[in-house]
A and B are shown apart, each in its own frame.
Chain A
């Protein structure tokens, strides 16, 4: 069975994933994703009734610790990594449209 993946499907997923892709790239990915999703869809045939999902391979129960306030020693270094910085802020293009 082939899982049909259209260019529209991939465009929708690309928008969700914040990837602004050119049209020809979308069409390449559509064909590849169709093949990959068809392959992984073979999982459907496995009976998993009543089987609990595994989220962690090696179970670790909730790990708690004292809530402590620590100061970050690297504030200036972190800010200096910004593509565009203004004083102590990360500068970005406008957030709201006109």
Chain B
């Protein structure tokens, strides 16, 4: 059920928040032993919160915008008093003493916390397989990955365990799992949503955003989570529009750019390419103008990202030293050895690998060759986008070169896994908002995702184009009877 519909039903008293929450808890009980989308389910709190909404309604109070909307929250967003693990042994028992700004805004808006969702350890990965607490399965085919790193949130929304969920996106961690699981995933402009209380991975790239089953719900959630926060000095002060306002505006005159380099990828699956180009065609039939644009440095995004993100991660993760909180290795005889052993035992191999890459790239003698060089190429990638946006309003690409891959397919080859993020990374490097939404299915019955990218702070445009496409294409109405989890 869409959020706006739920709100109307609650107001009319056709359904209670408690019933909605109980339905979701029942669904979780039925499917999550197979999917493992959730690390912790907060049933008691969820029902209490829902009952509070019902009481408020019965007392004639005006309901807040997300009243009774049950949410899954990626387990790298701090929730006060509720374990926040980042899917790492390092934080297995970490109970935050404070609430993230985003979740705080959600609870104030009446949303109900169902539980914390699984992720790749510290959000590092593209398959949710690096979670220290076991992988999540893709609801469309449980032998496949849900994508990552926000795989738990994507799978939870796709399987109907929750109405919406929150994730974080550093190089595609919202959009790629949204694509693999056939849901909508939005990464806002860098700084549009406060990162306060998001466990830091790469601070110049991280951004929080929603997973939903339809575009209008993403707009509803953005209305609540976007905006400046004095606790995050990188959060933008620009006024927040009503993101629902523009959705229904027709597309006549909107210019949509197809990034040439994206469609010439060697690894681009032909069914994905066909489906995304068909989506472009249906946007044209809605009145949009299609223009081919070039972003010559687009393909250098991965090399740039795999210097910058690990470098920032190696600095951010230096805080896990076994002293103040988190995992501590027992029996060490000195502080240095206690810290080094705690980090060796507390972090999994993908996290260690990235710390090593980052430390290498930042170490004496290499910092100019790698880190500074990557920051310069980052400028070139931004400039490509700047000139593209002089010609078009929105850019269109596939979200991922393939549909969901088999569990274990890339586990022994980290570089092959990194290449899966080819099409999503450039938007993070340039700080641009981008959305993934379903545009079809491959012959195995797996969802294909369409990515739209707009200029900085132009989320309204992005949501409008996505909404217009969604209403016309009606992709989920034609979903195949495959192996979807019943």
Interface size on A, residues (CB 8 A): 51
**Docked-complex contact B97 and A18, CB < 8 angstroms:** no
Chain B min CB distance to A84 (Å): 7
* Residue in B closest to A42 when the chains form the complex, CB atoms: B303
Quick one: given A74-B97, A74-B98, are A43 and B352 in contact (CB under 8 Å)? no
Closest CB in chain B relative to A53 CB, distance in Å: 3
* Interface 1/0 per residue, A61-89 and B, CB below 8 Å: 00101000000001001100111100000
**CA of A58 to CA of B236 in the docked complex: distance in angstroms?**
9
In the bound complex, residues from chain B placing their C-beta under 8 Å from that of A18 are 318, 321, 336, 339-340, 343
How many residues of chain B are within 8 Å of chain A by beta carbon?
A: 74
What residues on A are CB-neighbors of B82 within 8 Å? none
Given the known A-B contacts A13-B363, A18-B339, are A55 and B356 also in contact in the complex, defined by CB atoms under 8 Å?
no
Q: Are A77 and B97 in contact (CB under 8 A)?
A: yes
How many residue pairs at the A-B interface have CB separations less than 8 Å?
172
Closest Cβ neighbor of A12 among chain B residues: B363
Q: List A contacts of B352 (CB < 8 A).
A: 19, 21, 29
Given contacts A58-B189, A78-B97, contact A43 B338 (CB under 8 A): no
| Residue contact A48 to B377, C-beta cutoff 8 Å | yes
Given contacts A19-B352, A39-B306, A57-B190, contact A83 B379 (CB under 8 A): no
Q: Which segment, of B17-25, B44-52, B139-147, B322-330, faces chain A?
A: B322-330
Contact residues in B for A37 (Cβ distance below 8 Å): 357, 360
Assuming the contacts A56-B234, A81-B325, asked whether A16 and B307 have C-beta atoms less than 8 A apart, the reply is: no
Between A29, A37, A93, the greatest number of chain B beta carbons within 10 A of the residue's beta carbon is seen for A93
Q: Which of B264-272, B284-292, B366-374, B396-404 contacts A (4 or more CB under 8 A)?
A: B366-374
Contact of A94 among B307, B321, B335 (CB under 8 A): B335
Does the CB pair A40–B306 fall under 8 Å? yes
Are B322 and A17 in contact, CB atoms less than 8 angstroms apart? no
Contact with A along B293-317 (1 / 0, CB 8 A): 0000100101110110000001000
* Residue B376 is within 8 A (CB to CB) of chain A in the complex: yes
Which chain A residues border B303 with CB–CB below 8 Å? 39-43
User: Given A18-B340, A83-B328, does the pair A58, B191 have CB atoms closer than 8 Å?
Assistant: yes
Q: Is B431 an interface residue (CB 8 A)?
A: yes
26 sample A-B contacts, Cβ–Cβ < 8 Å, listed by A number: A13-B356, A13-B359, A13-B363, A16-B359, A17-B356, A29-B352, A36-B357, A40-B361, A41-B303, A42-B300, A43-B373, A48-B379, A51-B376, A53-B379, A54-B382, A57-B204, A58-B190, A58-B236, A58-B456, A81-B97, A82-B323, A82-B325, A83-B325, A90-B323, A93-B334, A93-B337
Residues of B within 8 A of A (CB): 94-95, 97-98, 189-191, 204-205, 230, 233-234, 236, 297, 300, 302-304, 306-307, 314, 318, 321-328, 332-341, 343-344, 347, 349, 352-353, 355-357, 359-361, 363, 369-370, 372-380, 382, 414-415, 418, 428-432, 456
User: A20-B340, A81-B97 are known contacts; what are 16 more A-B pairs with Cβ within 8 Å?
Assistant: A13-B359, A16-B359, A19-B344, A20-B341, A39-B415, A40-B307, A40-B374, A43-B374, A48-B379, A51-B376, A54-B375, A57-B428, A74-B97, A77-B97, A83-B323, A95-B334
